[in-house]
Structure 1
Amino acid sequence: MIDSDTSNSRTLGRLTEKFPDLPAQRPAVMVFHDDLRLHDNAALAAAAEHGPVVAVYVREDPETTEARALGRATQWWLHHSLERLAASLAEHDVPLIVLDGHPLRLIPELTRQIGAPYVAWSRRYHQPQRDLDASLKKLLRAQGVQAHSFAGHLLAEPSDVVNSQDRPYQVYTPFSRRLRAAVENSFVQGLVPPTGVPRTLRGPGADLECTRADLAELALLPSHPARRDPDWTAKLAEVWEPGEDGARRRLADFLERINGVDDDPGYAAGRDVPSVSATSSLSPHLRFGEISPHAVWAAIEELDDAGEDGTVFQSQLMWRDFAWHRLYYHPDLATTNMRKEFDAFPWPWDPEEFSAGMAGGRDGRRAVNAEGFLGDLGEWRAGTTGIPLVDAGMRELWQTGHMHNRVRMVVASFLCKNLGIHWRHGEEWFWDTLVDADPASNAFNWQWVAGSGDDASPYFRIFNPETQAKRFDGEGVYIARWVPEHGTDSYPEPIVDLKESREMALAAYEGTKK
């Protein structure tokens, strides 16, 4: 059963007051998901071709839809991205309606109220959402409404990148060859300006203010009175600019330095050095679809001299697709080892720890009950392990909602192999604190480091944080920035011996193969 919601009823009720002539206008509905942009948005373009547009975003209730609840960092991002989207749509007289609940009730109700004959949305690839969208399409068509979904979140559809036996690839290299060929035959659709209801037909009240009121009811920000989270998001705003404009500025900045600037190396040589600005920082914008992967790919192709730097960066875009294609076929990627032999691995796991640790306004870095392995987990999350590169990465994450990719591999390896803690604890922490945490890449990359995933790094590849620091932060610039007390008496001793813990990890792995 799909329950009604009072605030949603108020929102939908406002439509007939604000837009008394909407039924006569026969508007199309655009349902936004993780495609919060106007450019290169095939679904929005299709809706715009079918009349004036009413846009809607539904925060799907995890209890009834099985959608995974967003972490705190992505909630912050979503709030601000929706605000930016509403402002961009308002320039075209398009209202953005923000609802909370079950889309199988809310979207058909919305289409009935405004007499919409056409509904469009961007295709989704995670099983719970795929099933929802298939059911929604069936419901709408039963009402006599045209309902269509469109590609746009990936470089290519999972059905288009298969081997000669029409089976999905499980290894990245052949996948990437097939994907590159598919992408080279694609194109980027520019902005097809949507139109809204003429302002002369509007009732009283500003669209943006209504959207902001709807957003406030979602309580996405920790500063909201309905929440008791510590307000740690001010520091995120110092680093990030959510929204399509921010994404396009990030891309423009990256294109100017992809081949290197002054003494900083280009992307291919500098992407593993955490102290230089060689990476794109586009991942959260791609996660929320504020820019399409096709647009980023095309921008690289249009450069005259991208060379190896452009090719290596495009391989990272293809790795993102690889993760999503694997999630398409394995929707339980965040909870289940892809390599079943790891089910016997003696990783400690406490299924209640994460939800308990986030309750009551705590920042959640320290476990509620720090006995046993949970004490080590708390030191890892807080960046107080006594291992400088690990601590630097974890503090960067807490301060910025982001972590350099090379360091992500190091801290993940340290958790799973040196501390011997289940990769799911790490995946959950990243899910809550990364602004770019998405259902595919987050789980896929954790399983890659742990050794339990498809085409994963072998388990015996254990990143030594000291060796990695010497190689990629030789002058200690990155560590000094995030761990200023390193080298002083106030810095803690390591919580684990790297050599001994490595040997224990390899012995445990050998035990799973017997």
Structure 2
Amino acid sequence: MAASAPAPIVVLFRDDLRLADHPALHAAAGRGVPVVPLFVVDRDHGLGDGPTARPLGGAVRWWLHHSLERLSAGLARLGAPLVLRGGRPADVVPQVAGEAGAAEVFVIGSLDPAQAAAEKRLADALERQGVRLVVFPHDHLIDPARLRNGSGQPYQVYTPFFRALRQGLERPVTLPAPDALRPASPAPAPESLASFGLLPTAPDWAGGLRDTWTPGEDAAWTRLHAFLETHVAGYRTGRNIPAEPATSRLSPHLRFGEITARQVWNAVSAMAEGQGAETFLGEIGWREFSAYQVVHHPDMARRSLRHEYDAFPWRDAPDELRAWQRGRTGYPIVDAGMRELWQTGWMHNRVRMIVGSFLVKDLLLPWQMGEAWFHDTLVDAHWANNPASWQWVAGCGADAAPYFRIFNPVLQGEKFDPRGHYVRRWVPELAGVSDRLIHRPWDSPLEVARTGYAQPLVDHGAARHRALAAWRGLKDEAAE
């Protein structure tokens, strides 16, 4: 009697669109059985479940489409084509497992509360079908449940958190990509990537994204190597100059798991040293800290970590919000950042802090509005980094600095873009303005009239006093 064929393993991809350092794919390939790589595109373009789940933003959907193209090509070269299906994972994955005759589904775990909830629903659905869900360790460097301060509580401030991470972190183990994959026969039929409508149609707003980015695992490694060869040595100071290409721009590749924090950490540790490398590792640490915060506070995208800010007297000014979104605030460094975001799906980190402070402190508009705009327009919009960073800017998150940290957009521009190169690139109507006036063009009304540049929405000095008065009023109410 002939032996029965081994049951295939379904490998479910989510925010881990790569071949190397993929524990679930590596383990499935090591079994020597047929492998069914699967990605489920939620009809609402989400990847999670539960009250913290959110639809994916437009820029993220654009990146996802192209990253899936590249992952599909890589898996096909290994011998097992990617199966794309649309729907809810708890419905679709059991269906695909049944079609393939699989007894197990492998997936990399996630710290995202929405994806963790989806894992629970998926495990229950598969169990009812007699299929086992095997969850491999998540892609982060540390286990948030185990990293605690001396009082046994979660860390609330980044510096001691990162110190503890460094002390407890041994060299992360990474895995090679499989040499080959054994395909299932017959494999479940895929749906076409185009059918999911991840790309914009009319109007096609993605031209700047296409000109700026190449998604995929190979592109991630190209960016990392270029950064290590040319910019990491000067990163400590260069990272603050938005006109210079001194940052890694790895954030969207990390967001989609095209490269892992483990791989980046090891490459930087092995190939670079000095203050630039240490500063860059600290940025990886901030990414870990952001996830750490959301694990302990799952509603961070909606509610201030410091709950007293729920009562803050925010303004309702939709015209000012729209002007901020479109880069028409009258403050050149702010407008340059918002236009860079609109055209490329990305913004320099120093400028992210400036535009965030302007929205929350100068305009007194809720940080959640800024977080939502970034969620829709950033190619690196991340379930943890985005809300944690917005709460840091707003002064209501896990941070030692209070609300009265208010960035002056003029002084920030003069300090970090002294010759105005960044502003002139993204605000071309100011191209002919002198260096002396580039960050305060209203000092020359004739120049402003000639260029047609917007007048400032607010006077920063007056706006700062307004913000501080609102903050003091909130503190006084809390003390009563």
Q: Tell me the TM-score normalized by structure 1.
A: 0.84
Counterpart code for 2:159: T
The worse-fitting range, judged by mean Cα deviation, of 162-171 and 419-428 is 162-171
User: 1:54 aligned to 36, 53, 66, which one?
Assistant: 36
Once the two structures are TM-superposed, the CA of residue 61 in structure 1 deviates from its matched residue by 4.7
- Partner-residue secondary structure (3-state), 1:276: coil
Once the two structures are TM-superposed, the CA of residue 184 in structure 1 deviates from its matched residue by 2.2
Per the alignment, residue 276 of structure 1 pairs with 244
Once the two structures are TM-superposed, the CA of residue 140 in structure 1 deviates from its matched residue by 2.5
What are the within-5 Å matches in structure 2 for residues 63-78 of structure 1? Answer: 65-66=49-50, 67-78=53-64
The Cα offsets for residues 60-110 of structure 1, whole Å up to 9 and x where unpaired, read as: 355993431011000000000001000000001112111222111211121
Once the two structures are TM-superposed, the CA of residue 149 in structure 1 deviates from its matched residue by 1.1
* 1:47 and 1:118 in contact (8 A); partners too: no
Gaps of 5+ in 1: 1-22, 224-228, 261-265, 350-372
CA–CA separation in structure 1 for the residues paired with 2:104 and 2:408:
56
Per the alignment, residue 280 of structure 2 pairs with 313
CA–CA separation in structure 1 for the residues paired with 2:152 and 2:192:
45
Q: Is 1:397 matched with 2:341?
A: yes
Per the alignment, residue 429 of structure 2 pairs with 485
* 1:448 and 1:455 in contact (8 A); partners too: yes
Once the two structures are TM-superposed, the CA of residue 509 in structure 1 deviates from its matched residue by 0.5
Once the two structures are TM-superposed, the CA of residue 194 in structure 1 deviates from its matched residue by 4.8
- Partner-residue secondary structure (3-state), 2:243: coil
Counterpart code for 1:320: R
What are the within-5 Å matches in structure 2 for residues 356-375 of structure 1? Answer: 373-375=317-319
What are the within-5 Å matches in structure 2 for residues 74-473 of structure 1? Answer: 74-197=60-183, 213-223=191-201, 229-260=202-233, 266-303=234-271, 305-348=272-315, 373-455=317-399, 457-473=401-417
Counterpart code for 1:73: A
Counterpart code for 2:125: L
Question: Percent identity over the alignment?
Answer: 46
The worse-fitting range, judged by mean Cα deviation, of 430-439 and 133-142 is 133-142
Q: Is 1:37 matched with 2:22?
A: no
Gaps of 5+ in 2: 434-446
- Partner-residue secondary structure (3-state), 2:135: strand
CA–CA separation in structure 1 for the residues paired with 2:148 and 2:251:
25
CA RMSD of aligned residues (A): 1.9
* 1:172 and 1:319 in contact (8 A); partners too: yes
Once the two structures are TM-superposed, the CA of residue 259 in structure 1 deviates from its matched residue by 4.0
* 2:91 and 2:125 in contact (8 A); partners too: no
Per the alignment, residue 441 of structure 2 pairs with none
Tell me how many residue pairs correspond in the alignment.
450
The Cα offsets for residues 228-261 of structure 1, whole Å up to 9 and x where unpaired, read as: x52111220111001111111111111111345x
Once the two structures are TM-superposed, the CA of residue 186 in structure 1 deviates from its matched residue by 2.7
CA–CA separation in structure 1 for the residues paired with 2:232 and 2:353:
24
- Partner-residue secondary structure (3-state), 1:315: helix
Per the alignment, residue 8 of structure 1 pairs with none
Once the two structures are TM-superposed, the CA of residue 330 in structure 1 deviates from its matched residue by 1.1
Per the alignment, residue 7 of structure 2 pairs with 26
The worse-fitting range, judged by mean Cα deviation, of 51-60 and 328-337 is 51-60
The worse-fitting range, judged by mean Cα deviation, of 148-157 and 238-247 is 148-157
CA–CA separation in structure 1 for the residues paired with 2:133 and 2:204:
40
- Partner-residue secondary structure (3-state), 2:169: helix
* 2:313 and 2:470 in contact (8 A); partners too: yes
* 1:41 and 1:152 in contact (8 A); partners too: no
* 2:111 and 2:138 in contact (8 A); partners too: no
Once the two structures are TM-superposed, the CA of residue 170 in structure 1 deviates from its matched residue by 1.5
CA–CA separation in structure 1 for the residues paired with 2:174 and 2:22:
9
Counterpart code for 1:233: A
* 1:396 and 1:482 in contact (8 A); partners too: yes
Per the alignment, residue 463 of structure 2 pairs with 501
* 1:449 and 1:457 in contact (8 A); partners too: no
- Partner-residue secondary structure (3-state), 2:80: coil
- Partner-residue secondary structure (3-state), 1:380: helix
CA–CA separation in structure 2 for the residues paired with 1:220 and 1:148:
29
Counterpart code for 2:29: A
The Cα offsets for residues 32-71 of structure 1, whole Å up to 9 and x where unpaired, read as: 0100001111111122223221111112355993431011
* 1:47 and 1:53 in contact (8 A); partners too: yes
Once the two structures are TM-superposed, the CA of residue 451 in structure 1 deviates from its matched residue by 0.8
